[in-house]
Amino acid sequence: MDLKDILNPDPLPSPGLSSASFSSIFDPRGSLDLTEEIILRVQDDKQALHALSLTSKSFAEPARRILFRSLKLMDDISVGRWQIELQRLALQQSTVPLGLTYVKDFSFSLDRKRNLYIIDFMQSVQGLLTLDTIRVCGRDGLFCMPEHTWFVDFVKSTQANTLTFNGAHIADYILKFDCPSVRFLEFNYCRVYYISDDLKTEGPRRGRLTALVALRAEGTGWQRVERISSASLNSEALNLVKDASVGLDSLEIKVISNGMDMTPDLALSNNIGRLQSLCLQVPSVALYTIPDFAKELLCKAPRLRHLSLFYERGWYLACPWQTLYKQVMKSVHSALTGMSESSLENVSFRFQDALYKPHIVKKEESGNILVTVEYDNKPPIHQGTQAQLAGNAYLLLGRANLLACNI
């Protein structure tokens, strides 16, 4: 949506055009159910939404919430036009431009040439916005602007809930988690640029960070990190887990990616002592290494209550699910035998197969552990688009114990 439209939305319909609300005519209860249903049916058609917003007061509000929801700031030419428009409006009125109150999703792109234009504009409108999501795009991301006061101020002022970084270099101040409103951080193929000496990593760094981090409302710094979901077991993800280990309750990770060796990595197993929930997504190339890998992790996680393994499509080309199930459970019991105490309550096996709908094929108790085996075509982690990430970030609170999102 063009900012000119956002700053100058069409006026509400005249009272003479609609003496009664649309919903009260068609719905005896006077609810907005019918209105909302109609809006949802045409939510991808901007012309239809615009027409509906002029038809009735009942349609105006929900239609504008969709029409003006997102604002993208991707080039300095547009920024220049938008700044002129804001200055014109500032001379004409003192009230907040109506359309800005509907903006919830804000995207911007930084590079070494147009930063000042974009940052200046963001600072001029930050007091007018209350956002759900801020998306940082561009290869340079925040790397080319180490001075971070402007960005932190923007996040705090707009009270954003989710920060998304796409293919960007990220300064390490993002990992201080000092914005109280932020509950989710999404990293899509990113690299952290470490400035602070106390955050710098040791050893070689391989791969990029593709992960989602869920934060607690209370606490400070790394203590706020509650859940991590990562699409790669690489050095960037391992650094994240290591620093978050002081408060990390739930971890979901794809166990092999970017050419990493499949032997249990000490950087992972040595930093999961507080975990209560662990989900491993298993590609077909890692089928026979998972039993030993799971055993190593179990031995280092005495608080773990829930273990889930999701086998990606292709497992059936190697062996029956019964074989995979027996191998893992043998390792589980072997690990528990060598532990002085364990909190493990259940183990879940999920097998992806397009021929089957999700359903339980086996449920039993093995000792004091509840074991379930089921077909499930919805992997907890997979490479996806940013739209998929944003759409699923809020599913986190609806999934007990496991951090499930599309990555």
Q: pLDDT tens, 62-72?
A: 777 777 788 88
Q: What pLDDT does residue 54 have?
A: 72
Task: Calculate the CA 318 to chain-centre distance.
Answer: 33
Are 238 and 202 within 8 A, CB to CB? no
In a 3-state reduction of DSSP, which class is residue 222? helix
The pLDDT value recorded for residue 87 is 63
Query: What secondary structure letter does DSSP report for 128?
Result: G
Report the pLDDT value the prediction gives residue 391, as an integer from 0 to 100. Answer: 34
pLDDT at 100: 77
Residue 82: per-residue pLDDT: 65
pLDDT of res. 354: 66
Are residues 49 and 38 in contact, defined by beta-carbon separation less than 8 angstroms?
Answer: no
**pLDDT score, position 403:** 27
Q: Which two tokens stand for residue 344?
A: 């493990």
The encoded tokens of residue 279 equal 């989900």
Strands (E), 29-100: 70-73
Closest CA to 52 of 322, 311, 61: 61
- Matching residue, tokens 């929930």: 277
Strands 369-375 and 359-366, sheet pairing: antiparallel
Angle at 36 between CA 34 and CA 42, to 5 degrees: 105
pLDDT of residue 249: 94
Q: Which pTM value belongs to this model?
A: 0.77
Mean pLDDT for each consecutive 10-residue tract of the chain (407 residues)? 54 41 39 66 71 72 76 70 62 58 86 71 86 86 65 94 87 87 94 67 70 93 94 85 90 69 63 93 88 91 95 89 92 91 93 76 85 89 45 28 26
**In 3D, which of 30, 346, 403 has the Cα closest to residue 185?**
403
Q: What are phi and psi of 260, to 5 degrees?
A: -65, 145
HEC readout, 146-194: CCCHHHHHHHHHHCCCEEEEECCEEEHHHHHCCCCCCCEEEEEEEEEEC
Residue 239: predicted pLDDT: 86
DSSP 377: -
CB-based contact 230:407 (threshold 8 Å): yes
pLDDT of residue 120: 80
pLDDT of residue 6: 56
Asked whether 108 and 140 are in contact (CB, 8 A), the reply is no
Using only the alpha carbons of the chain, give its radius of gyration. Answer: 25
What pLDDT is stored for residue 101 in this prediction? 81
- What pLDDT digit, counting tens, does each position of 288-319 carry? 889 988 998 999 999 999 999 999 988 988 88
